[in-house]
Structure 1
Amino acid sequence: MTPAEKHASIIKSTAKSLGFDFCGIAKAGFLEEEAPKLEEWLSRNYQGEMGYLANHFDKRLDPTKLVEGAKTVVSLIYNYYPEQKLPETEGSIKLAKYAYGEDYHEVIREKLNHFLEILREEIGPIEGRGFVDSAPVMERQWAQKAGLGWIGKNSLLLNKQRGSFFFLAELIIDLEVNPDTPLAKDYCGTCTACVDACPTDAIVGSGVVDGSKCISYLTIELKDAIPMEFQGKMDNWAFGCDICQDVCPWNRFSKPHQEEKFKLHPDLAEFTNRDWQEITEETFRKVFKKSAVKRTKFKGLKRNLDFLKLKKSE
């Protein structure tokens, strides 16, 4: 076994021990094929008000500009599909499933820090950084290069064993590691379930989403008033949206996660539409203290709820 093969074995066993469902490895380098795609996406203003997506263009395409001397990108999958879901009765308020429990940024970042510590103990001095939706890293493209799945029509990474209800995270390190084989095949075929189901027509091409029309963008990233053209099209989503994932045939393979911190907050399980309508800042702080929902702040959540024109329910 070569040192690069041994490193790959250590990395994959460590990933498993830390609860990651899948681990793939790719050689760090410039994402040449992605550069024109990203440039066109930005030129069409599909980023909406997410101006930060146009920043650090070179870093977004080249991990060696994020970690000096980077040789390897380790891509990781961490499941968040819930066993207990919010009530799914007609007219009930919806939150993206990833926001049911504690903020994934904090939970997974802690695991990535531990991951690097273990690698340094097992292998020796390693320079690197962990990323979880927190820096200009094209995580889906790197996961595909690492053999973990393919980019679906909804632009999400799809995995044959888990669908898409998972977080992606990366370790960019200066260690030589034996890479995995990229997944070249697209297993979506002629299916257009996600395209057909999107109520705001945000999926404008295969693997291309107009972010400015996406319900997740409208309820989280957009800071101004939600444009009236989306009135009646939000399908009661108050934070994020799972429509394109819920209808995806590959998500029939989703299995409940085993992460205690991602479990549905007990208070949320009892929320009625009246509770949502009358939510106070005090309740918001209590229920969403450790949640990703705090990102939109109380004011943002209220704006979303008001836009949905909720009817009070007993």
Structure 2
Amino acid sequence: MVSNAFPLDLLSLSGQLRDWAAEEGFSDAAVARLDLSADREHLRDWLARQRHADMQWMAETASLRADPEALRPGTGSVICLRMDYGLDSAEAWPVLRDSRRAYVSRYALGRDYHKLMRKRLARLAERVGAAIAPHGYRVFADSAPVLEKALGRNAGLGWIGKHTLLLSREAGSGFFLGEIFTDLALPSTEAEATPHCGSCQACIDICPTQAIVAPYELDAGRCISYLTIEHRGSIPEPLRPAIGNRIFGCDDCQLVCPWNRYAQRATIPDFAPRHGLEGTELVDLFAWSEDEWEERTAGMALRRAGYSGWLRNIAVALGNAPGESGVIAALRARADHEDPVVREHVQWALGRHLATSE
């Protein structure tokens, strides 16, 4: 670990970090205290309750998540960054309420944030080193087993809400988090943010699949974001009607949160929606060939679901759409799809519509 003898005092460091971060497109920056002992216990309890569904990698990396020094040996400080991607509830709700259109989680409408953020984090880390002292570091943007929300809370970027997301009084929850693990021993720049959820449980009440089983406890196996992105097999049939027209992720718990009236618009042009995906007709997306999908989702987080997952998700949404002739025709065109999971969900959707038409 590098000595904490550096020329900037605490107030200067805090201001400098924010200024440098802003030049890289970040909305806030702070240094976290590293004590994650309470979060370690919460994670253990969550895993013991099997809330991680089939994401076995979360259990396998649990010891690294709660120990920054174990994840990157020599870590003395973690610099936490916030980057707004924009969360406009006035624009999102009309799409969710139109079952003919596809809803894509607002964070995934533009360029995939992972590489973009890592490059900017690395440039910021080099600037910190040039101003303070040469240092060893590693940057993360949802790219390793990091308890990023807990670290962000420890840095004062916000508090963890009942929906388990980090909330900021200035920006709601419409932002990405990134971290610089450095061997510089920097003092934490802010006290932990005070929680401001109070008695509100709007996020719990609105969850379509009741995935928020208790305040601060999410059952991933019921979460639409997990089911439409991470999950690779069949979506449990009882949950399919509740998915509605959400084909990649879910924002309901964020859109209903009172604090997201303060959500900031994206300042990074690359986060702007691509290909009209902020509200395209389901039947149009279902008609994309694999080549079209590869071309149009290049550089986007949508790639995470894979083409078969894309078709599976849209099939479920079409099963929840009005049983119009165009919807029936689109489903019948995929009824004999080579992928058994896609085929199963298409048949389920057709079955819903044919049953109601008899």
Shorter-chain TM-score: what band?
over 0.9
Q: Are the counterparts in 1 of residues 87 and 174 from structure 2 also a CA contact under 8 Å? A: no
Aligned mates of 1:76, 1:289 — CA distance in 2: 26
Task: Structure 1: state its 5+ residue gaps.
Answer: none
**Number of residue-to-residue matches in the alignment:** 313
Q: State how 1:136-285 maps to structure 2 within 5 Å.
A: 136-268=145-277, 271-285=280-294
1:186-207 CA distances to partner (integer Å, 9 max, x unpaired)?
Answer: 2010111110100100001111
Deviation at 1:27, TM superposition (A): 3.0
Aligned mates of 2:111, 2:159 — CA distance in 1: 28
Aligned mates of 1:8, 1:181 — CA distance in 2: 8
TM-score, reference length from structure 1 = 0.93
Secondary structure of the corresponding residue to residue 233 of structure 1: helix
Aligned mates of 1:267, 1:195 — CA distance in 2: 30
Q: Are the counterparts in 2 of residues 85 and 264 from structure 1 also a CA contact under 8 Å? A: no
Secondary structure of the corresponding residue to residue 304 of structure 1: helix
Aligned mates of 2:229, 2:209 — CA distance in 1: 16
TM-score, reference length from structure 2 = 0.82
Q: Are the counterparts in 1 of residues 14 and 30 from structure 2 also a CA contact under 8 Å? A: no
Secondary structure of the corresponding residue to residue 242 of structure 2: coil
Aligned position for 1:54:
59
Aligned mates of 2:225, 2:278 — CA distance in 1: 21
Whether 1:25 and 2:34 are equivalent positions in the alignment is: no
Deviation at 1:170, TM superposition (A): 0.6
Deviates most, 275-284 or 255-264? 275-284
1:221-247 CA distances to partner (integer Å, 9 max, x unpaired)?
Answer: 111100101021002100011010010
Q: Are the counterparts in 1 of residues 87 and 263 from structure 2 also a CA contact under 8 Å? A: no
1:199-224 CA distances to partner (integer Å, 9 max, x unpaired)?
Answer: 10000111111111100000011111
Whether 1:77 and 2:85 are equivalent positions in the alignment is: no
AA at the equivalent of 2:41: P
AA at the equivalent of 2:18: K
1:121-146 CA distances to partner (integer Å, 9 max, x unpaired)?
Answer: 32331111111111111001011111
Deviation at 1:270, TM superposition (A): 7.1
Aligned position for 1:11:
17
Aligned position for 2:309:
300
Aligned mates of 2:105, 2:250 — CA distance in 1: 5
Aligned position for 2:124:
115
Deviation at 1:13, TM superposition (A): 2.2
AA at the equivalent of 1:23: A
Aligned mates of 1:38, 1:161 — CA distance in 2: 27
Distance 1:231 1:190, change over 3 A: same
> More helix by proportion, 1 or 2?
2
Aligned mates of 1:72, 1:142 — CA distance in 2: 10
Secondary structure of the corresponding residue to residue 290 of structure 1: coil
AA at the equivalent of 2:19: S
Q: Are the counterparts in 2 of residues 82 and 263 from structure 1 also a CA contact under 8 Å? A: no
Q: Are the counterparts in 2 of residues 268 and 287 from structure 1 also a CA contact under 8 Å? A: no
Q: Of 45, 48, 60, which aligns to 1:43?
A: 48
Deviates most, 19-28 or 289-298? 19-28
Deviation at 1:180, TM superposition (A): 2.5
Aligned mates of 2:114, 2:123 — CA distance in 1: 14
Deviates most, 277-286 or 292-301? 277-286
1:162-181 CA distances to partner (integer Å, 9 max, x unpaired)?
Answer: 00010011111111223123
Q: Of 59, 65, 68, which aligns to 1:63?
A: 68
Secondary structure of the corresponding residue to residue 170 of structure 1: strand
Q: Are the counterparts in 1 of residues 160 and 167 from structure 2 also a CA contact under 8 Å? A: yes
Distance 1:56 1:273, change over 3 A: closer
